[in-house]
Amino acid sequence: MIEYKLLLFRQGRLKRMFNNESVIRGMKSVAPLILGIVPFAMISGITAANTGLSLWMALFMSVGIFAGASQLAVLQLVSDNAHMLVIIYTALIINLRMMIYSLSIAPHLQGIKTGLKALLAYSMTDQSYAISTVHFLNNPEEDTKSFLLGASVILWIVWQMNTIIGYLMGSIIPPELGLDFGIPLTFIAILFKGVAGWSGIVAIITSGAVAVAGAGLPMNIGLVLAAVFGIAAGTLSEVYLTRGGDRES
């Protein structure tokens, strides 16, 4: 009976709502990044265990926040006995970039139910966002909600599973493995995916320079400044290059 209902559900509502091929394309597009995400998710589990969180609390955190860098910052501050408001403030500043992602991907996610928008928003990560927007620009016919869902869901599952594995195996894994390096590597892998010609390079160099120069600024403000300067430099250089007759894609 249950199987029958599931079958009805799958063939009826879900099939009408999502395009299977797009979901699978989304999954495939982020699959190579799993290699970099697994070690980072394990670190997050290991750190939660070392900070003294129960497994349930660690899972509550990784499901409830689902943004790795901010989760690690929270754990660090908890073990430093920081004030609750400082922890909340720091984590939210780290995640502020998600608002730019939201603005950037919004045009591709219109004409769908608010509940589905909420699900897609909740599960969106740096990686699924970046891969998807670049893919949408190059493939205007794509079923965007299905593609993004596929990309996000697979990373969500990998993240939660490996957080648990990291938590349970924490004591076996030596910290000098430097597993945190996996995440910058996933960013490097997708960095050039959507670069719009030379102006994309201008954005990358400007933003990277500002981020490094501003790294000492309090509360991750350097990251936000770098993004703003990088986006501005890229846009301005594109305007300039186009005017000069040097046409860009």
Partner 1 sequence: MNNLQLILTILIIGLGTFAFRFSFIFLYGKMKLPQWVHRAMRFVPPAVLSALIFPAILIRDEALWISYENPRLIAGMVAIAIAWKTKNLLLTIATGLGIFWLIIFV
Question: For residues 7 and 118, which CB has a smaller minimum distance to partner 1 in the complex?
Answer: 118
Question: For residues 164 and 231, which CB has a smaller minimum distance to partner 1 in the complex?
Answer: 231
Residue 212 is a binding residue for partner 1 (CB under 8 A)? yes
Question: For residues 129 and 147, which CB has a smaller minimum distance to partner 1 in the complex?
Answer: 129
Q: How far is the CB of 106 from partner 1 (least distance, A)?
A: 4
Question: For residues 7 and 121, which CB has a smaller minimum distance to partner 1 in the complex?
Answer: 121
CB 18 within 8 A of CB 146: yes
Nearest residue to 204 via CA among 234, 235, 240: 234
Pairwise CA distance, residues 140 & 135, whole Å: 8
Q: How far is the CB of 184 from partner 1 (least distance, A)?
A: 4
Nearest residue to 41 via CA among 148, 189, 179: 179
DSSP conformational letter for 18: S
Residue 216 is a binding residue for partner 1 (CB under 8 A)? yes
Query: Which range touches partner 1 (CB under 8 A), out of 1-9, 11-19, 157-165, 208-216?
Result: 208-216
Pairwise CA distance, residues 184 & 33, whole Å: 11
Restricting to residues 162-181, name those near partner 1 by CB under 8 A: 176-178, 181
Residue 235 is a binding residue for partner 1 (CB under 8 A)? yes
Pairwise CA distance, residues 30 & 157, whole Å: 13
Maximum separation of any 2 CA atoms in the chain, in Å: 68
Looking at the chain, the number of H-run helices and the number of E-run strands are 14, 0
Count of residues that bind partner 1 according to CB under 8 A: 94
Which one of residues 103, 141, 218, 245 is an interface residue with partner 1 (CB under 8 A)? 103
Residue 154 is a binding residue for partner 1 (CB under 8 A)? no
Restricting to residues 111-130, name those near partner 1 by CB under 8 A: 114, 117-118, 120-122, 124, 126, 129-130
- The binding track of 25-64 with respect to partner 1, each residue x by CB under 8 A or -, is -------xx-xx--x-------------x---x--xx--x
Question: For residues 17 and 232, which CB has a smaller minimum distance to partner 1 in the complex?
Answer: 232
Q: Cα(first)–Cα(last) distance of the chain, in Å?
A: 54
Query: Which range touches partner 1 (CB under 8 A), out of 14-22, 156-164, 165-173, 218-226?
Result: 218-226
Q: How far is the CB of 70 from partner 1 (least distance, A)?
A: 7
Distance of CA 230 to CAs 134, 204, 208, 210, 217, Å? 17, 6, 8, 8, 17
Residue 95 is a binding residue for partner 1 (CB under 8 A)? yes
Distance of CA 249 to CAs 200, 205, 241, 246, Å? 11, 19, 11, 10
